[in-house]
Amino acid sequence: MNVTVDTGRCCGAGQCVLLVPDVFDQGDDDGVVVLLDPAPAEPLRAAVREAAGVCPTGAISLDERP
């Protein structure tokens, strides 16, 4: 899995950070998503998929190709 984020689309809702703090964080000044791990390990992938699904602006993209 490869994760990318579109910081221009992020509204700072923070759902991704709540779900997977090992993969996502937020900027201190603007609350915009910060990607900590673009290639999360298998145990985190289900939560990353959920984070992408609940992102209100669709700012998180996933590439599931090996």
CATH code of the domain covering residue 11: 3.30.70.20
This prediction has a pTM of 0.95
CA distance 51 to 66: 20
Tokens 């609350």: give the residue: 31
Section 5-31 average pLDDT? 97
The answer to whether 43 and 34 have CB atoms below 8 angstroms apart is no
Backbone angles phi, psi at 5, to 5 degrees: -130, 145
Average pLDDT over residues 9-27: 98
Domain count, the chain: 1
Segment 55-61 shows an average pLDDT of 98
> What is the pLDDT averaged over residues 6-18?
97
Q: How far apart are CA 43 and CA 22, in angstroms?
A: 11
Q: In this structure, are residues 3 and 39 in contact, taking their beta carbons and an 8 Å threshold?
A: yes
Q: Is the pLDDT of residue 65 over 90?
A: no
Give the structural domain span for 13: 2-63
